[in-house]
Amino acid sequence: MFFDWIIQILVERLLQVPPRISRQGDVLVAETPWLTHILCLGSGSRKVLVDPARKTVTLRKRVAWFVLTQQVYHFDQILNLIADYQDWSLSHLSWSGAYRDRGVFTVELRLTTGERILLFRFYTQGDFVNDGIFPDMMYWGDFVEASVSKADNYTHSEAYARVVAGLIGVRVYAD
């Protein structure tokens, strides 16, 4: 039982790895972290470069090991940034009304054409929620597990969106 609990926490932590964000000169770089490269055996990756000097956002993607794409968006093509959250909780499958809050935060560009371009996803394992008829103390183990393994990818995604929007000179909108 104890080892199952430890393994579950480790796996949840591995899936919550945010992109690696750094500054290279005056360029903001966000890229798929090495741990994710290992987990997907290098089959997919993403790198986003925001270059204020050239006034461009460059998106490089690798899909299925050999397919490399690069798209360049000029700042004047970008209308705003979208910071969004999608609830991936399986609350509808819970007969007791108790579930673990799970979801994904996304940061996207909205172009002047209306097209939306995904920059990055930030996966999160949130709080334990009890909307059922049973008292909270019946789920004390689930509350402890959620507290230990909870990630703060909301903060990471919000900070990333604000920095990118500041460099481009646009506003961030929630969708």
Residue reference for tokens 């997907």: 40
Q: What is the pLDDT of residue 94?
A: 58
Mean pLDDT, rounded, of the chain: 79
| Structural domain spans, the chain | 2-174
Quickly count: other Cβ atoms within 10 Å of residue 16's Cβ.
Answer: 18
Report the alpha-carbon distance of residue 46 to residue 20 in Å, rounded. Answer: 11
- Identify the band that residue 1 occupies on the pLDDT scale cut at 50, 70 and 90: very low
What would the mean pLDDT of 69-93 be, rounded to a whole number?
84
Write the pLDDT tens digit of every residue in 33-77. Answer: 887 767 777 777 889 999 999 999 999 998 888 889 999 999 999
Q: Which two tokens stand for residue 38?
A: 């290992």
Write the pLDDT tens digit of every residue in 129-145. Answer: 776 777 777 776 676 66
Residue 151 has pLDDT above 90, yes or no: no
* Most confident range, picked from 39-43, 114-118, 134-138, 150-154: 114-118
User: Whole-model pTM?
Assistant: 0.72
* Most confident range, picked from 12-16, 17-21, 94-98, 137-141: 17-21
Amino acid, res. 39:
L
Partnered with residue 81 across adjacent β-strands are 109, 172
Extract the runs of DSSP E, i.e. beta strands, from 25-163: 27-31, 44-51, 56-63, 67-74, 78-87, 98-111, 116-130
Cα-Cα-Cα-Cα torsion 28, 25, 44, 118, nearest 10 degrees, comes to: 20
Report the alpha-carbon distance of residue 50 to residue 15 in Å, rounded. Answer: 25
Report the alpha-carbon distance of residue 121 to residue 81 in Å, rounded. Answer: 14
Q: Which run of H or of E encompasses 24?
A: strand 20-24
Pairing of strands 56-63, 44-51: antiparallel
Higher pLDDT, 85 or 82: 82
Q: What is the pLDDT of residue 82?
A: 93
Report the alpha-carbon distance of residue 170 to residue 154 in Å, rounded. Answer: 20
